[in-house]
Homo-oligomer: A and B are copies of this chain.
Amino acid sequence: MRDSTQSVYELFYWPGLQGRGEFVRLCLEDAAALYIDVARSPAHGGVDGLLRVMREHDGDGPAPLAPPFLRHESLVIAQVANILHYLGPRLGLAPDDERARHYALQLQLTVADLVAEVHDTHHPISTGLYYEQQKPEALRRTEAFVEQRLPKFLRYFERQIARAGGAFALGSACSYVDLSLFQAVEGLRYAFATAMRAIEPELPALVAVHDRVAARPKIEAYLRSSRRIPFNEHGIFRRYPELDLAPSWAKSS
């Protein structure tokens, strides 16, 4: 017997990397939600458990095409922004009104676009090939990313946070968008340290959101725990020295 306040969330994501699962994990951790990280828990089936749900999905909705996905009661849903749109109100990490929830979803989908572009800096040709099999293309794509895309996205978030006029991206209350922006900044610092050092001085509002999220007690404890997988070169944010480029806009200042 369990009531809704005790209901368990099951997160399904590949073990060994933060990847897209981390955006969900940060919400569950910040809210101190009861959750099982299925693929990292042999007692709950491990990776086989994840694959089994994908293969044998018999819910009333579509199967996931790929992890991460979430199971809660009998609901199974995939796609990070969709999962956060579901979890946000339940975990106290979304605005109350419908209008602002659309704003949150808009910003989250823009984070998702940034994350997809970061992924493609090291995999511009195919996810079915290793980075080592697409290095010249990766270098060329990363040059364009660091020159144009990284500043475009980050300056956009900076402007939106500033105009919201509060401590967080949507105003005074912390939402799942802020946790995702924290993760994006952390990941970009790991992967593109040179460009981030150059641009951060012009992003005070974004850096402040990052710092406020990092200082939240549950997040702080999580980041120090073994549940936080370190960044590594299996994830989306990868530190390849040859891709940690100095953008021309930084050199000119």
Contacts and interface: CB of A to CB of B under 8 A. Distances in A.
Which label, helix, strand, loop or mixed, suits the secondary structure of the A interface? helix
A106 interface: yes
B129 A106 contact: no
A90 B152 CA distance: 33
Interface in A70-99: 75, 77-79, 81-82, 85-86, 99
Interface stretch (A10-18, A136-144, A189-197, A233-241): A136-144
B109 A82 contact: yes
A32 interface: no
Given A62-B103, A116-B116, A124-B141, 9 more contacts: A60-B99, A82-B106, A86-B102, A113-B116, A125-B141, A126-B144, A126-B148, A129-B144, A137-B137
Interface of A: 60-65, 75, 77-79, 81-82, 85-86, 99-100, 102-103, 105-107, 109-110, 113, 116, 120, 124-126, 128-129, 137, 140-141, 144, 148, 152-153, 156, 159-160, 163-164, 169
